[in-house]
Amino acid sequence: MHVGLNLIFLVPGETGGMEVAARETIPALVAAAPSGTRFTAFVNRDAGPGPWDELIEKVVVPVRVANRLEWVRGEQQLLPRLAMAAGVDLVHSLASTAPAWGRFTRVVTVHDLIYRHLPGAHHGMRSLAMRVLVPLAVRRSDRVIVDSEATKRDLVELLGTPAARIDVVPLGIGASQHADPLPERDVRARFRLGDRSVLLSLSAKREHKNLGALLEALAALRSRPVLILAGYPTPHERELRLRARALGVADDVRWPGWLTPPELEGLWRLTSAFVFPSLYEGFGLPVLEAMARGVPVACSNASSLPEVAGDAALMFDPRDPRSIATALERLLLGGPEIEALKAAGVARAALFTWQRTAGATLASYGRALADDRSAHRRTPAA
C-alpha cells in the first residue's frame, strides 16, 4: 500500500492543534504500518521541518499556503496530479479539506465542524472556503475520520454523511517531551500569584470557549483563587477584561497571553485545578494534558468533552455559572474524592496514545480501500 499524506495545510506555527496531530501521528503510523507500506508526504513550499523530512518521502506542492487561493488550487488541482504521478493508492488529508478528485482512494480527517456551530470562528474568505471545502471533502472521500463521537454526530446531522462511512479515531497525547518547568518561585513572581492557590485554564479567547461564564463562576466563589487565562489574545479578550472588571474579579485574573513551554510546565506544577468551560470542541486535548500531569479537572459536559474526560473529571453545565462554581469549589477543597479523581485522570490520559491513533487510522485506510469501488475498477482484472 502506498499512502499519500496531504499536509498542504502546514504553516509553521499557525495551524496549532492540527499540526501537533500530524507531527505525532506520522511517526506512529510509520511504526505501526505493515511492512511494504510506503508513505509520501505532500507539503507546501513554506512547511517547516518535521517528521515528513526524515521518516518518509516528501513531495513539495509548489504553492504558498499563505495565499488562500493558491492553497485551494494546490490542494484541488496540483496535489491530485502529483499524487497520481507518485502512484499512491490512497490520499489521507489530515486537516478537514481534501482534494475532490483523483484516481486514488480518499480519506479525510475532519477535526471539527466549528464553522457550522459558531459562524464567527473564522472570517471572510476563510469562513467561505470552509463552508464549501469541508462538505466537499467529506462528500468526495471514501472514508471520514473524526476525533470524537460528538463530531461524528455533527457530520451525520449537519452534513448528512452516512454514519457507516465515518470512523472515530481519538487523538493521543504527546506526553513524550515535557519542557523543564520554571521554578515555582519564579512562576509565582512572574504572574504575581503571591501565595494564593491557582486555577488554570488554557484556551484561545474565543466566544465558544465560554470564558465569560467562567469569570461569573469565579465571582461566585467565596474564597477566590487566582485564575490564569492563558492562550493567545484575540479581539474577544477586551470584552472579557471589561466583564471581569464589572464582576469585581479583575484582581483575581491573570492574562498572560502566549506562554513559553517552561512557564506552562511550571504552572502545571503549581496549579490546584484545571478548568475548561468550552461550549464546543472537536476533541479537547488540554483536558488530557492536565490529567496526564495529575491535575484535577473540571470541564464542561458539552460536545466531545464527556467522551474524552470519561469518569476522570468533574463535569458542569457550561451555560450555568453556578454549576461551574460548585465544581470549582469541590476541586479546590480537595480531599480523598479529589485525590481519586487525580489518579483516575492519570489512568485516563494513559489511554490516549498516538500508537492507538495510528492503529485505528490504518484500519480506516483498510476499510477505505475495501469500500472504494472505483479502486476495483482501477485494478486491472487479474
Partner 1 sequence: MCLAHQRDRVGDVLEDVLHYDRVERRVGKRQRLIDIPEDHVATRLGGSRHRVRRAIDAGVAGKVLGQPRSPATDIEQFRVGGKVARHVAEVPRLRVPVEIAHEGGYRTICPLPVPEHVALNALFLAPGVSGGPETYLRGLAPALAAGFPMLRLTIVTTGSGAAFLRELGFSDFAQLHALRCEEGQRARRLLAEQVLLPRAARSAGAQLIHSLASTAPRYPRLPAVITLHDVTFLRIRTFGAMTTFGMRTVIAAPARHADVLLSGSAAARDEVCERLGLDPTRFLVVPHGHGRTITAEPVPEAELRSRYRLEGVRVVLCVAAKRPHKNQAVLVRAAAQLEADIVVVLVGQAEPYDATLRTIANELGVEDRIRFVEPVGDGELEGLWRLADCFAFPTLGEGFGIPLLEAMDHGLAVACSDLPVLHEVGGDLPVFFDPHEPDDAARAIRLALSDKARAAMGPAHAALFTWERAAQGTYSAYERALVAA
Question: Interface with partner 1 by CB under 8 A: which residues?
Answer: 148-149, 168-170, 306-308, 310-311, 347, 350-352, 356, 359-360, 362-363
Which one, 171 or 324, has the nearer CB to partner 1?
Answer: 171
Least distance in Å: CB of 152 to partner 1?
A: 9
3-state secondary structure of 56: coil
Give φ, ψ of 275 to 5 degrees: -130, 140
CB atoms within 10 A of CB 218: 24
Assigned C-alpha cell, 305: 468533552
Which one, 57 or 311, has the nearer CB to partner 1?
Answer: 311
Which one, 44 or 303, has the nearer CB to partner 1?
Answer: 303
Which H or E run includes 372? none
Which one, 191 or 365, has the nearer CB to partner 1?
Answer: 365
Q: Residues with Cβ < 8 Å from 334, sequence gap 6 or more?
A: 272
Report how far residue 90's alpha carbon sits from residue 39's, in angstroms, rounded to the nearest whole number: 10
Least distance in Å: CB of 248 to partner 1?
A: 38
Alpha-carbon dihedral 297, 299, 305, 307, rounded to 10 degrees: 50
Least distance in Å: CB of 107 to partner 1?
A: 15
**Residue 318, CA distances (Å) to 189, 281, 322 in order:** 32, 13, 9
Which one, 34 or 124, has the nearer CB to partner 1?
Answer: 34
Least distance in Å: CB of 151 to partner 1?
A: 11
Report how far residue 254's alpha carbon sits from residue 239's, in angstroms, rounded to the nearest whole number: 15
Least distance in Å: CB of 210 to partner 1?
A: 22
Q: CA angle at residue 27 from 376 to 145, to 5 degrees?
A: 50
Least distance in Å: CB of 364 to partner 1?
A: 9
Which one, 153 or 269, has the nearer CB to partner 1?
Answer: 153
